[in-house]
């Protein structure tokens, strides 16, 4: 029996601005603002890859690719 695994393309996550700022902005306490995280995401060249990763892996918490949990859920539904 052979198992074929598809390898994901390498993404240089260390280049992402979130990797340089810390996770507290991107995983805030429930009900807290995500404004700072979204601002940082808008400046980041990794944003499209980050959002693609979050959608492909069904990330349910935090800000990924500039979108909150609710925004990603809404995007998945459309």
Q: Which residues are annotated as a binding site?
A: 18, 41, 44, 50
- pLDDT of amino acid 10: 66
Query: Three-state secondary structure along the chain?
Result: CCCCCCCCCCCCHHHCHHHHHCCCCCCCCCCCCCHHHHHHHHHCCCHHHHHHHHHHCCCCCCCECCECHHHHHHHHHC
- Is the pLDDT higher at 10 or at 42? 42
Is residue 4 pLDDT above 60, yes or no? Answer: no
**What's the whole-model pTM score?**
0.81
- pLDDT of amino acid 5: 42
- Tokens representing 5? 């695994």
Q: Which residues are annotated as a binding site for [4Fe-4S] cluster?
A: 18, 41, 44, 50
**pLDDT tens string 19-56:** 999 889 999 988 899 999 999 999 999 999 999 999 99
């Amino acid at each position: 029996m052979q198992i074929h695994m598809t390898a994901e393309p390498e993404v240089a996550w260390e280049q992402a601005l979130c990797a340089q700022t810390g996770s507290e902005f991107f995983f805030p306490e429930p009900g807290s603002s995500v404004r700072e995280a979204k601002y940082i995401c808008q400046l980041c060249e990794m944003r499209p890859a980050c959002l693609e990763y979050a959608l492909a892996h069904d990330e349910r918490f935090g800000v990924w690719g500039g979108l909150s949990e609710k925004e990603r859920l809404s995007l998945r539904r459309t």
